[in-house]
Amino acid sequence: MPDSQPPAIELRGVSKIYPGSPPIKALDDVSVQIARGQMVAVVGQSGSGKSTMLNVMGTLDQPTSGSVLIEGTDTSLLTDNQLSAIRGRRIGFVFQRFFLLSGIAVIDNVANGLLYTGAARPRRREAAEAVLERVGLGARRWHKPDELSGGEMQRVAIARALVGEPAFVLADEPTGNLDSASSNSIIELLFSLHDEGRTIVVITHNEAIAAAMPRQLQILDGRLVHDTGTVSR
Amino acid sequence: MNLAPSRLRLSETARVSLGSLAARRLRSALSALGIAIGIASLVAVLGLSDSSKSALLDQIGALGTNLLTIEAGSGFGAGDAALPETSVATVSRVPTVEATSAVYTVDAGVYRNDLVPADLTGGISVYGTDPGLLAALNGEIALGSFLTEATRDHPVAVVGAVAAERLGIRNLDRPVRLYIGDRWVEVAGVLEPFALAANLDRAVLMGDRAAERYYDTELAPATVYVRVDEDHIDATRDVLAATVDPENPEEAEISRPSDLLEARSAAESSFTSLFLGLGAVALLVGGIGVANVMVIGVIERRGEIGLRRAIGATRAHIRRQFFTEALTLATMGGTAGVLLGVAVTYGYSLAQGWRVIIPPIAVIGGIAAAVAIGVIAGLYPAVRASRVSPTEALRSA
């Protein structure tokens, strides 16, 4: 399993302190590696710092100290525009609240995952169509998001995250807004994506979901207190 | 890792911005409406003022600007001043004078018949004049005919446009008589309004010799009308007073009636400035409306902004998107406004019988003003949108 390839994501001594009085230490000296193809659950109570960790991994936020390496690249050395490029090309995000644009069809919501890569529209739509088939929504591609169920909307969001063939997918409470049936189908979808070799990090406070994942990271008060998969390399 | 930078084609920026506007159709239309009203009022004000001015200038051109009038001034102790009896003769000897005519005040009231009480004159005055008056004033006859050499000596009258209305003269199908002073006078004709001698519209004119014979009128002119060679108007004007009354040149008052029309056009211009000011205020309010909608949009659409940052948009992309939206709103409003303003100008000018003039500056300036407002109104919201931190946007949306 070990090879010369760098891990998909690596945090080295990452701390994140939000200024204020008193300052809030959302992440405290966290070091972790997530190898390619791994599926990892990040668990912890709300306020434990798990969302901050996901934002830092996704370069949406920068650590106060320590460094975040994405496929071996130290993101602290990159400009804001380069970070945008990394997000656009190497990272797929899935959010609890989907963030679909209500005015445009499902296929264009998915194609938007490639919008800022400069790909032409026909090519974006083609890729979107393929990935919609993959998540089982090929038939719904011309519907507007508000014509879909919550579970379907989250599938669209997952398709949008996948359309650019990212190095890894970061999912922040992907089932937080869904009923249990929809939740299960989303988790199944994530597992099947993992089976295809994708790297997936899922934040959840649902212990049953977390327990099903091959590796779990437990965050408490900004510290990584438990890691079931320390031998990841 | 060597990644190509994020990029968004220009056509995609336009598509994204238009899509956002289309998704909020009503709000977009309402905020563009503010701009449209502002621009429409500017275009209409400029168009109407130019159209009406051109109508006025056409009128001035048709009447000629070479008419001068000489009246007895209100000189010191002048009392009921009149010009010397020789005025017409001396003025017509000035080489640059092309035509001369005069009117003489007849001291008599005009009545529809002899049963009307003497004090109900209707504000109509009576003048004696010569048959050359119509030509000198470029006047036109509406009904019947003007005075001729044949009728000059006889109790025959021609009625001004306003006087005819007051006297109830609508046609001359049957002989019409008026009771002037203490005798009946035959009406030979009715005049169209005089543009350059409005006081004659409220008058009844009869032959000068008839006035002298039947009303003991002294043939000292109340007003002398002089048509002057176009190229020597000012020079002629300077010598006329001394020509008319060499002893008291200061008592002859010379004026140029077309100056009045020009003054009217200038007065209309000052109204134009006022309306332009009001239009500019409307435009300003419209611009604030667009800025307002954009700022609200930035706040409401934090989720969208955060998502776009997460899928690879740079700050510049966000800035461009919002800027393009504001610019599009303003340009659409401006275009609609120009069309509306042109339509109003057409409608009103045609209704007034004016030649329609749409000044190019109004069209180009209208669109340019709208674009400028879009730039100003869009800049701040766009910069603000681009500064939203992605995590904050995703959390608070």
Domain count, chain A: 1
**C-alpha separations of B153 from B86, B182, B217, B232 in Å:** 20, 17, 13, 35
Mean pLDDT across A119-131: 95
What is the overall mean pLDDT for chain A?
91
C-alpha–C-alpha distance, residues B16 and B20, integer Å: 6
> Tell me, what's the pLDDT at B81?
65
How far apart CA B6 and CA B346 sit, in angstroms, is 50
CA angle B390, B391, B392 (to 5 degrees): 90
What is the 8-class DSSP label of residue B5? P
Assess A101–B contact: CB distance below 8 Å, yes or no: yes
Cβ of B313 and A116 within 8 Å? Answer: yes
pLDDT of residue A51: 87
Q: Given pLDDT bands bounded at 50, 70 and 90, which one contains residue B123?
A: confident
Question: Residues of B with CB below 8 A from A16's CB?
Answer: none
Whether residue A205 contacts residue A46, with contact meaning beta carbons closer than 8 Å, is answered with yes
List Cβ neighbours of B177 (8 Å cut-off, separation of 6 or more): B113, B184, B185, B186, B187
Within a domain: residue A232?
Answer: no
CA distances (Å), A202 to each of A42, A62, A67, A69, A216, in order? 6, 20, 21, 18, 9
Residues 6+ apart with CB under 8 A from B359: B46, B47, B50
Tens-digit pLDDT profile for residues B201-221: 999 999 999 999 999 888 888
| A74 reaches B (C-beta below 8 A) | no
Digit-coded pLDDT (tens) for B165-186: 988 888 888 889 999 988 899 9
Q: How far is the C-alpha of B35 from the C-alpha of B31, rounded, in Å? A: 7
Tens digit of pLDDT for each residue in B257-294? 777 777 777 777 777 888 888 888 888 888 888 888 88
Which pLDDT belongs to residue B264?
75
Side by side, which strands form the sheet with A73-74? A24-34, A9-18, A65-70, A73-74
Nearest residue in A to B20, CA atom: A103
- The answer to whether residue A50 neighbours chain B at the CB level (below 8 Å) is no
Report the mean per-residue pLDDT for chain B.
87
pTM listed for this prediction? 0.74
Instruction: Please report where in the chains the tokens 């021609």 appear, as a residue.
Output: B158
B391 pLDDT above the threshold of 80 = yes
Q: Is residue A106 part of a domain?
A: yes
Mean pLDDT of A201-226: 92
What's the pLDDT at B76? 53
Residue to mutate among A83, A97, A115, with most B CBs inside 10 A, is A115
CA dist., res. A86 & res. A90, Å (int): 5
Nearest to A81 among B6, B311, B395 (CB): B6
Give the CATH number of the domain where residue A111 resides: 3.40.50.300
> Do B19 and A99 make contact, defined as CB atoms within 8 angstroms?
no
Q: Would A3 be classed as within a structural domain?
A: no
B312 and A87: CB-CB below 8 Å?
yes
Domain extent, residue A181, equals 9-227
- A5 at B interface, C-beta within 8 A: no
Q: Is A225 on the interface with B (CB under 8 A)?
A: no
Q: How far apart are the first and last CA of chain B?
A: 32
ipTM: 0.92
Q: Does residue B349 surpass a pLDDT of 80? A: yes
Q: Shortest CB distance from A116 goes to which of B8, B23, B391?
A: B8
One-letter identity of residue B126: V
Radius of gyration from C-alpha coordinates of chain A: 17
Mean pLDDT of the region A89-103: 92
pLDDT level of residue A230 (50, 70, 90 thresholds): low
Answer whether B310 sits within 8 Å of A87, measured CB to CB: yes
User: What are the pLDDT digits (tens) for B125-135?
Assistant: 999 999 999 98
pLDDT band at B122 (very low <50, low <70, confident <90, very high): confident
For the four alpha carbons of A66, A70, A75 and A81, in that order, the dihedral sign comes to negative
Closest CA to A203 of A69, A4, A40: A40
**Is it the case that residue A65 has pLDDT exceeding 60?**
yes
| pLDDT tens by residue, B296-324 | 988 888 999 999 999 999 999 999 999 99
pLDDT of residue B86: 85
| Residue A2 covered by a domain | no
pLDDT score recorded for residue A1: 45
Closest CA to A170 of A18, A11, A1: A11
Tell me how far the alpha carbon of residue A99 is from its chain's centroid. 14
Using the beta-carbon criterion (under 8 Å), do A118 and B9 form an inter-chain contact? yes
For residues B255 and B69, the answer to whether their CB atoms sit within 8 Å is: yes
- The pLDDT assigned to A231 comes to 47
Task: Mark yes or no for CB contact B312/A121 under 8 Å.
Answer: no
Distance of alpha carbon B128 from alpha carbon B218, whole angstroms: 10
Hey, is the C-beta of A70 within 8 angstroms of any chain B C-beta?
Answer: yes
Q: Do B304 and A101 touch (CB under 8 A)?
A: yes
Whether B312 sits inside 8 A of A103 (CB atoms) is no
Is the CB of residue A51 less than 8 Å from the CB of residue A203?
yes
Cis peptide bond N-terminal to B360, omega within 30: no
- Cβ–Cβ contact A99 with B under 8 A: yes
